[in-house]
A = this chain, B = another copy of it.
């Protein structure tokens, strides 16, 4: 079994000027991030994963596998509204040796029952029917509107103890993460923000999956590696400069603009609707604010 503990980057998805996925740029960013020691969580929120069709995600994942990257260190997002889409993607991820999959609940129908959500995950797991499948639940109530409750986790762990192995908690609610670490020993809890790496690791968590790791991953990884050391508090504080600046901008578009600057490839600025690219004046302001915070891109 692969170990995904650590810091994972929810890798951005680049587009051509026809708004199709730009495979070479995607593979290049994957190499860059994995070269920094990060794992990869493609097709999450930051990756515009839900704006991609199933066949586009299959193509991008295939490209990562073909390029020889360690698929055991990838956790692609495979949870869709349509059961069949979630099954197709999860099965494909398993066939490529992905270390896990990050599974959103179906998010169109609001206030689904716990029975209905349990059935959603259970159906996907049963249909994939492969012991290599390792599911990380994706709790992001602000975006999906569908919380993953502790009650649901307990039922899934009871039914599929070898398959349901962890969660990404993007709620920002530390008490919820600590509660899961306490309630479910061995269940791998990833904070969805670098702001909480230290407290989550202290609570027994597994690591962090944060959008900002597309740009600022090495600093997060250093904290994750050294969280038991006296320097950890300082390292945690050191993450605040970048994070605070990024909190004030449209995050995905801004991370793409910064990636465009870092790589010199203008195409990185493109996003798929309904997102919009960062306007040039906002990009200049962002760079100035980062410079003031002592951060060079």
Contact = CB atoms under 8 A, between A and B. Distances in A.
A95 interface: no
A275 B114 CA distance: 10
Interface hub of A82, A84, A120, A145 (most chain B Cβ within 10 A): A82
Interface residues of A, number: 40
B19 A273 contact: no
Interface stretch (A51-59, A181-189, A191-199): A51-59
A132 interface: no
A126 B116 CA distance: 37
A239 B236 CA distance: 62
Interface string A76-118: 0000011111001000000000000000011111101101110
B143 A110 contact: yes
A219 interface: no
B50 A273 contact: no
A274 interface: yes
Interface in A247-275: 272-275
A123 interface: yes
Contact of A116 (B84, B109, B276): B276
